[in-house]
Amino acid sequence: MSSTRLWGRDAGREVTCIACGETVDRADAREYDKHGDRWDRDDKQFEFLCKPCDSACCHQNREGLEEALVAARAGQTDQKTFLRRFCELTVEDAN
């Protein structure tokens, strides 16, 4: 039994980790907000990471990351093209 207490619609619910695909109890997951603002909860649907995947993530500021991923066509192009474009975009932003 998890020590985390969930109320309302989350109690007893299962979610899928967006990183590894495992299905876990909601109490054993962490909320992930791709916009980096998990505190603003109005009209949001969160995705989830299991605790091991969340622990493996870098928890540094992600400002601009989602926009860079979209601009580099993450998930829409082959890995080599994506990585080349992502690197180009991040170098441009650093200058």
Beta strands in the chain (DSSP E): 14-16, 23-25, 29-32, 47-50
pLDDT of residue 57: 80
Does the model's pTM come out above 0.75? no
> What are the pLDDT digits (tens) for 23-71?
999 999 998 877 666 667 677 778 899 999 998 887 777 778 888 999 9
Indicate whether 70 belongs to any domain. Answer: yes
Indicate whether 45 belongs to any domain. Answer: yes
Mean pLDDT of the region 9-24: 86
Is there a single domain that holds both residue 52 and residue 69? no
Count how many domains the chain has. 2
pLDDT of residue 38: 61
Closest CA to 4 of 26, 22, 19: 26
Query: In terms of residue numbers, what domain contains 87?
Result: 65-94
pLDDT of residue 2: 42
pLDDT of residue 72: 94
pLDDT of residue 58: 74
- Return the C-alpha torsion angle 94, 60, 9, 42, nearest 10: -50
